[in-house]
Amino acid sequence: MNPEIKTPLPGWLSDSFPIRLLSKTYGAVIKRRNLSFERNKDLSYRSEFPVISIGGIRAGGTGKTPLTMQIAHYLVSQQYNVAFLSRGYRRASKKDQIVLPYEKSDWQLIGDEPAMLHENIPQSFLAISSKRVRSAQKLQQIAPSNTVLLLDDGFQHRKLGRDLDIVCLNESILSEKLIPAGYLREPIESLNRADILVLTGSADRLSDLKETASGLRERFGDKAIFIAVQSVECWVNAFTGEQQVEPPFKEPVAFCGIARPHRFFQLLETQGVYPVKKIIFPDHHRFSQYDIESMHKLYSHGLVTTEKDAFRLSNNNFVPELKLWYLKIKIRFESDSQLNRFNTLISNVVLNKFKRRSSS
C-alpha cells in the first residue's frame, strides 16, 4: 500500500464541489503570478553569484534538505564557497540574519533546518530572511567571489533569479491535487520551468519511483530526471557525536517531528529496529520539558529519532543526559553514472556563470 497521504482533508471533503472550486481558483491565481514573472524578467533580481534553487511543488518533505546538503558538499569539494539562503521557517525571530563561516548560532532564531545545514557544513555562509533578494545582496558584499548561493525551498520564490532550478518530487506527484484539496503548491505544469527533476523516496518504493519517472519523461522530456533514494549513513549519539554502523538499540522508543514520519519508521525497520513505542510530533516541533520527561519515563533501552529532531533536542538547555541516538541519512542516486551526470550539470552551470561574469 502506498503510504503517501495525498490530501490534508477527509476524502469526501477533498472531492466536494466547494473544495474543488477553491483549488481551481488557487491554481488560477498561481498561474497568473507565474505568467507575470515570465512576461517581465525585471521582476527577478539577478545575483552576480551563481544561484541554485532546490525546491518543490508539494508541501511537506520531499528530500530537499539532504539533496541541498549533498550539493553543498560537492561544491565545497570543487573548491567553491557556499552560502545557504533560507527564510528560516518557524523561527522565533523575524530579523534578517547572516551567520558567518564557523560562527555558532541559535537554531530557534534562524530555524532548525538552516541551522542543521550550517552545522554540517560549518565553512558555509548562512543568510536568513523572508526576502531572499536582500540576503543575496548582503552576501555579495561579504562573501568571496567564488561563492555559490543555494536557495533552500526556492522554487516559488521567483523574485530571486536562479541559474539552475532543481525540483524534488515524490512518487505520487502525477496524481496529486492542488491546495486545499491536496498538497500541491503549484499546478504540475509549473515543472516546465524547472531544469532538473529529482524523484526521492525510500528504497523499497524504487519500482514506483521508476514508474513515475517514466510518466514525467513523457510530459517533460526536455528535463534532466533523476531518482535518488534515502539510505542510512550511520547512527550518531546526539550528545557525544559517537558514530556506529550497528543500531544502538533493538527495541527503543522512536519519535520524530517531521513531515513524513512513516519514512523514518520504515528506515528503522530496514535496520532491524522495531520500536516498542512510536511517537509522532508535528513537523518542526519545539520540544518542551514535558515532552522530554514523558519520553524519558517511557523508554527502557533508549531513544532514537531523526537528525533534525536530535538537533533541536541536543541544543536545548533543559535536555537531560538521554540515551539518544539519531539516524543519519543521505540520498543515493540510482547509479554512479547518474550521480556523475548530476554533478556535471551543477559544475557546468556554476562555471558558465563565473565565465560570463568575468567577461562582462
In this prediction, residue 12 has a pLDDT band, given cuts at 50, 70 and 90, of: low
Q: Nearest-CA neighbor of 348 among 337, 359, 356?
A: 356
Q: pLDDT by residue (tens digit) across 118-171? A: 999 999 999 999 899 999 999 999 999 999 999 999 999 999 999 999 999 999
In this prediction, residue 291 has a pLDDT band, given cuts at 50, 70 and 90, of: confident
Distance CA 335, CA 33 (A): 38
Q: Nearest-CA neighbor of 328 among 347, 355, 309, 313?
A: 309
Cα dihedral angle (307, 309, 311, 317), rounded to 10 degrees? Answer: -150
- As a whole number, mean pLDDT of residues 316-339 equals 83
Q: Looking at residue 2, what is its pLDDT?
A: 43
- As a whole number, mean pLDDT of residues 250-262 equals 87
Q: pLDDT by residue (tens digit) across 184-242? A: 999 999 999 999 999 998 888 899 999 999 999 999 989 999 999 988 899 999 888 89
Distance CA 178, CA 187 (A): 7
In this prediction, residue 37 has a pLDDT band, given cuts at 50, 70 and 90, of: very high
Distance CA 34, CA 207 (A): 33
Q: Give me the percent of the chain exceeding a pLDDT of 90.
A: 62
Q: Which pTM was predicted?
A: 0.89
| Cis before 18 (ω within 30) | no
